[in-house]
Structure 1
């Protein structure tokens, strides 16, 4: 199954483009599922119908669903209270009733991630179109599975989980309580669920599609979003230039200024992105007819994978070079820190802790350079760790 994750700056019309993309695919015979998480049901407004947690048929081949974050939060906390019943009883703690629970910030995003994972694993559709939040929140959301897994590994490292079998003995010898078995089980379950979500996002059939209006603000937002996605190793297939104004407007009309900005931005974008334009209808699109009139781009079948190759230049320069694509990165906003077997990469507002490839773990950082949107990090073999004879 193919997955298209659609995001862009707030107010760029990404929800409308997501709905139009799903509708166009369905009308071409592709079984399509459209997911959204906006509590205000902007997706339903674009489709001309209400959406909710139960899958709803829009028309043949197209189903829409908006996960209920509140219900998911209540169910999850109820299950947690059930698993921790003995500990709560021991502490004399009162359990919370489902009716008094209010979802915490971020519950909508977590519910959407869970829905994306479940839909991809179910394979009941050929195409999954996801209306993500605005770009800043979407980038944080897409980073969440990897970051949470890293936190879990730090709190309960896999190599220490061997202590599970020895927990009763160690508890008696140490004379202190050991972590409960349920803690290890919960950590393993969470790690498995997060790994499945991470696999869906990294799958070769998953792409991120950016939506922005062609103007100075849209150009800045698209550039920042593209950099954040590149740091995460996520693929982008298209940049949808939305609400493109007609070129035949009179030269003396108020549209002259916006049209000049539009032309300049589109010229810059065509040299950087794979751009598809969606015309301004002169009104807010509502319903299937308006969405079809947008003529949204379909599925791009040929999107190259994101690769971070390690070049072997030991014979010529005595180094290995790790190439990390960071389109749009600025040298002054770039920072690198080697920490054990990880490399902490910071570029602009984004930061990622990346595990080093096995060969580079036996090396020391020998320098780095940013050229033409690619960060090249040089690693020199550490004589104490490098195999003899190389």
Structure 2
């Protein structure tokens, strides 16, 4: 997944990287027939409704259908609004088909009456459907590698957090224990509950997939110059608190030939021992002209590193039992966490999650099972790691 601050050349670098991944598959087929299908191809996905990638790759703009761009590369242009409207139309049609009405469950009857065209502002819905479509493509077996251009949708981290937001919203609007009980009491609701349960399972599946360092690699693109030096800190911090498997930081020189050294140096300092080992640092050198054609994209020579199984940040926490037993026990949870502005760090608690706010972005971090019956007693940041201490909560800690 290729992401970064807007205006950093993310689309061009994602396309050039996808071409590099696709070209790497050529030797395995040398001498064989040309194939436009099969699991040795690469898929490039764009989620930007106004993406210029179809024009750059010289293919027709066909939303929702993969189009062959080269002998090894396909392009899939996803339309967020189209996905939302189709999914909602199917969902409400299913509600009406089983005769759901306000006398069974008022909130469901109200939902069923909402037209698909009214959903443009429903929080998290478009982003969740986009991620589900990306997952379905990645797990279909049709492509060996999938490269996702996450530019064009505002905050990419909000997009990646959407499964967490949606599953929390579902549980607030219709708690799982309540919907399962109502399904057993009112058989007509069974199909509706099954649909909601399917969405909830998809949310959990997406969270696992996005954080899986053996199958997913995140590539951060930042511009050169002073802007790159200042923004790389925020973006590395967000990948860490979200537990995203950051695999490379690519500093884009861009058409203006910006100096890549400041951002590269800042990234190396932030990453510490991970720099150039677990996380690849590289500069993308500018071309004479803006890469507007396939041949020019190839000249960027971008190499996207494959997943390496190395978890980072909140996905790789260290849990320690400091001392004591029973209600007197003390535990410590820590992970490597960059803080661009330490004074803005905030912690909260919601059920089994620790709510961590970094750089104005709040992320739920699921606690290990032993800490779910504990309360936070202290928190600190030593310049490299976020350290949170816990003690058992007498109200819920099991008594011997």
- Compute the TM-score of the two structures, normalised by the length of structure 1: 0.81
- Any idea what SS the aligned residue of 1:59 has? coil
Could you tell me which residue of structure 2 aligns to residue 194 of structure 1? 203
Could you tell me which residue of structure 1 aligns to residue 120 of structure 2? 104
State the shift of 1:182 in Å.
4.2
Between the two proteins, the alignment pairs up a number of residues equal to 362
Confirm or deny that 1:369 pairs with 2:398.
no
Could you tell me which residue of structure 2 aligns to residue 310 of structure 1? 319
Could you tell me which residue of structure 1 aligns to residue 173 of structure 2? 155
State the shift of 1:132 in Å.
0.3
Equivalence map 1:1-390=2 (5 Å) = 5-29=1-25, 31-52=41-62, 53-85=64-96, 86-87=99-100, 101=117, 104-105=120-121, 109-133=127-151, 137-164=155-182, 166-168=184-186, 180-204=189-213, 205-243=215-253, 259=259, 262-273=260-271, 274-306=280-312, 307-314=316-323, 318-382=329-393, 386=397
Structure 1 unaligned segments of length 5 or more: list them.
169-177, 247-254
Deviations along 1:332-368, one digit per CA (max 9) or x if unpaired, are 1111123454322212211123332211123332211
1:243/1:49 CA distance change after superposition, 3 Å: farther
- Any idea what SS the aligned residue of 1:51 has? coil
Q: Is the radius of gyration larger for structure 1 or structure 2?
A: 1
Could you tell me which residue of structure 2 aligns to residue 250 of structure 1? none
Distance in 2, matches of 1:384 and 1:333, equals 31
1:136/1:54 CA distance change after superposition, 3 Å: closer
Question: Which has the larger displacement, 86-95 or 61-70?
Answer: 86-95
State the shift of 1:293 in Å.
1.0
Distance in 1, matches of 2:113 and 2:322, equals 61
Distance in 1, matches of 2:264 and 2:170, equals 44
Instruction: After the TM superposition, list the runs of 4 or more consecutive aligned residues in structure 1 that deviate by more than 6 angstroms.
Output: 88-98
1:372/1:136 CA distance change after superposition, 3 Å: farther
Distance in 1, matches of 2:12 and 2:281, equals 17
Q: CA RMSD in A?
A: 3.3
Distance in 2, matches of 1:339 and 1:60, equals 50
